[in-house]
Amino acid sequence: MERTETSTKHGLMGTISTAYNKMLLNPAYKYAVLLLGLPVNLVVLLFYLVQRTKDTYSSVRDETKYELIVSGYRDRLRAEIKEQLLRKHAFFGQQVTPDELKRQVDKTTANQFQMVLLDRTNEKLKQSKQQRVTYAGTFTSLLEHPLFFIASFIPGLPMYFLVYLYSNSYLKYIFERLVMSMFVILGVAVLVFTILHLSPFHPAANILGETATQEQIDAFNKMHGLDQPYFVQLWNTLKGIATFDLGKSFSGSEEVTATIASKFPITLTLTIIALALALLIALPIGIVSAAKPNSFFDYTFIFIALLGLSIPSFWQGLIFILNFSIKLQWLPATFNPQNGLSIIMPVVVLGTGLMAAVARMTRSSTLEVINEDYILTAKAKGLSQRQVLLKHAVGNAVIPIITVIGLQFGGMLGGAAVTEKVFNISGIGSYIVDKQFIPDIPSIMGGVVYTAITISLVNVMVDILYAFFDPRIRSKMKQY
């Protein structure tokens, strides 16, 4: 029996040992934990190689294998398997050649013989109170000595931090989703840069104009690094994104990071307010509609929701401006940070589609669970319809709703450019559109990638909400 299976030590050392051993069996974490704790793992490897020279597992295994062969066990096993396969093929009417039958018998016999050999060997080791020397077992035995942990803590700090994350199911869940988000952001950055690099529009020609000479174009390309190979430009761009230093834009010579930092909060604020307004209206409407299916309210709601999903946002914005700004003069036609009323129409236009989508999903998701057995049981216990809906139905119907909210928020944040253009809002969406046709690569990369980072973080929050609302996900998290 391996040391990892017999270790019963509790507390911090036991938690670290258990998590470390599990990580070595997980390909996604194995190389990360070995690299992050390289100095510590080298010491463990040295002790493992020394102890392995004293390991009796190989000799016990060879002795057990010899005994099994001499006793005729392998021949009997082979005969039994051959007979089983012949009966199986005869039952199903399958025709197999002698060579194919021999291959099947040899393969099955070898697998079962190895399993029996492993069990017999481990049983002998257990009876003799010996343990097989393994790398994971060596780490566990060393960790039982406090001095080893103290001496290895500083050089192995990154490894121990990763092990701690892995040992906590909730932190591991969040960490894995953050890592996946990093790969998504990296993929977005590479894809967007490649598309811009292959764009038929040439920044130098568009900015300098048709009268620019070849010398001026070459000087522009050299100044902005456009004369360098593709991979060099890509590396510089990714490094700039990671360090929040994308340099200056091609047009205007403005600091890209500072410009995005001034424009992005406007778009984010607009999106969050639109999201809050949409949820405040959509959730109650969807729940009430599900509680009264096929009623006048339900049909009216479905009709309005379809209208909300069908109306283009730019057309809705223009209609609002014509009626509420020009005709009635209730609200300003363009956005002004100093005037709170100017944000009303952009928020309503941006939130209309989300409101309709969330309300419809709330209705359909609540209808799916409202006739389940546990809902009928709650009603039979005498709970009011309000209590049944809020405490039992909505809680179980919330997962699809959270999914729609997460997806729609990303669409709102990325699609806010249309609304910003209609209401003359100087946000990140309109900024990217203005820079697109140059193309101003640093500005576009900054706007798109930092928007992707925000959307990825929102998706991580959605995944966390999944675990918070769904006990099945929490239970699954604790199994790994």
Q: Is 2 helix (H, G, I), strand (E, B) or coil?
A: strand
Residues 8-35 have a mean pLDDT of 81
Would you say the C-alpha torsion 47, 48, 49, 53 has a positive or negative sign?
positive
Taking residues 109-125, what's their average pLDDT?
Answer: 82
The pLDDT of residue 2: 41
* pLDDT score, position 125: 67
Q: Got the DSSP string for 40-99?
A: HHHHHHHHHHHHHTT--HHHHHHHHHHHHHHTTHHHHHHHHHHHHHHHHHHHHT----HH
Count of other CB atoms within 10 angstroms of residue 215: 8
Q: CA-CA distance, 242 to 256, in Å (whole number)?
A: 14
Question: Mean pLDDT, to the nearest integer, of 281-308?
Answer: 81
CA distance 442 to 256: 7
3-state secondary structure (DSSP) of residue 248: strand
Are 101 and 70 spatial neighbours (Cβ–Cβ below 8 Å)? Answer: no
Q: How far apart are CA 43 and CA 343, in angstroms?
A: 63
pLDDT: is 476 or 246 the higher one? 246
Close Cβ partners of 132 (under 8 Å, ≥ 6 residues apart): 1, 2, 3, 55, 57, 122, 125
What is the spatial distance between Cα 366 and Cα 291, in angstroms, rounded to a whole number? Answer: 8
Q: Determine the pLDDT at residue 246.
A: 79
- Minimum mean pLDDT range among 20-34, 339-353, 366-380, 424-438: 366-380
Task: Note the pLDDT of residue 119.
Answer: 82
User: What local confidence, expressed as pLDDT, does residue 8 receive?
Assistant: 39
First and final C-alpha spacing in the chain: 22
Give Rg (Cα) of the chain: 33
Q: pLDDT tens digits, residue range 197-236?
A: 887 777 777 777 777 778 888 888 888 788 888 898 889 8
pLDDT computed for residue 42 by the predictor: 92
Which position has the token pair 């000595």?
145
Write out the two tokens for 37.
């704790």
Distances (CA, A) of 327 to 251, 321, 331: 39, 8, 10
pLDDT of residue 32 exceeding 70, the answer is yes
**Residue ranges of E strands in 235-280:** none
Residue listed under structure tokens 């040391």? 3
pLDDT at 7 over 60: no
Instruction: Average the pLDDT over 235-261 and give the result.
Output: 83
d(CA 2, CA 7) in angstroms, rounded, equals 9
Least confidently predicted of 35-49, 245-259, 377-391, 428-442? 377-391
Asked whether the predicted pLDDT for residue 388 surpasses 60, the reply is yes
Residue 293: DSSP 8-state:
T
Tell me the pLDDT tens digit for each residue of 325-383.
Answer: 888 888 888 877 788 788 888 888 888 888 888 888 888 888 877 777 777 777 777 77
Instruction: Identify residue 176 by its one-letter amino acid code.
Output: E
Q: Compute the average pLDDT of residues 300-321.
A: 81
Torsion 152-155-159-160 (CA) sign:
positive
| Higher local confidence (pLDDT), 293 or 387 | 293
What is the per-residue pLDDT for 426?
81
Whole-number Å distance between alpha carbons of 250 and 207: 8
Interval 142-185: pLDDT, tens: 888 888 888 888 998 999 999 988 888 888 888 888 888 889 88
Task: Tell me how far apart the 2 most distant CA atoms of the chain are, in Å.
Answer: 102
Q: Is the pLDDT of residue 237 over 70?
A: yes
Contact call for residues 137 and 4 (beta carbons, < 8 A) = yes
What's the pTM value of the predicted model, to 2 decimals? 0.68
Q: Residue 56: its pLDDT value, please?
A: 66
- Report which secondary-structure segment, H or E, holds 347: helix 344-369
Instruction: Identify the pLDDT of residue 408.
Output: 78
